[in-house]
Structure 1
Amino acid sequence: MTTPLVRIVDDDADARSSSSFFLSMMGLEIKEYESAQRFLDEDDMNRPGCIILDVRMPDMTGMELQVKLNQKNCRLPIIFLSGHGELDLAVHARKRGASDFLQKSAKPERLL
């Protein structure tokens, strides 16, 4: 049986490392991606797990990646992280199937 994988897609290296460190300390397997395109190019989306996705990234935003994943019928749960309290984006992300939308300043326990 394949263990679930938490994928962290964020252009901010410090944010990726912080989330990755906390979640790996909780016993989860983590894979980091610095861009949405790198995630699309390298990830095995058939492996169970979830995606922790930054909203604002250069080249392809998290919202644009969510649309592409929906078009590919990817069923991995998405948790958006945003550095801003963007209510409209949160509503749109949830309507498109995101599991949650959290601010980056949220307590790590909430992310878990």
Structure 2
Amino acid sequence: MIIASHNWLSPIYERLKDELIQNKVLHADETPYQILNRTDGKPATSQARVWLFRTIKNAGYPIAYYHVDLTRERAVATTILEGFQGYLHCDGYSGYKNLPSIDLVGHLPFTK
């Protein structure tokens, strides 16, 4: 079931990401959660992240794109937002700062 889901749903997931970054305004946030048996050797008390990137409510094709990762490193946001040019509404997490072609909005103090 897992292999079949991966094989059939991965292309849809990637297409959603491609469509997401074509928008001019996105929202982003990440939420901590715990994994009992981590693949990176860290203890179960370590926090992993669910990343959410979504279009505005009135977008022509609204998309909510979730990404699960073991880390909150800037590289995750950089990879997902590669190719995005526009406004990113997010909290004050420093990992979003100074991403190329992205203007941060929403939380003060942001400086570019």
What TM-score does the superposition give when structure 1 sets the normalisation length? 0.39
Structure showing greater Rg: 2
Which protein is richer in helix relative to its size?
1
More strand by share: 2
Compute the TM-score of the two structures, normalised by the length of structure 2: 0.39
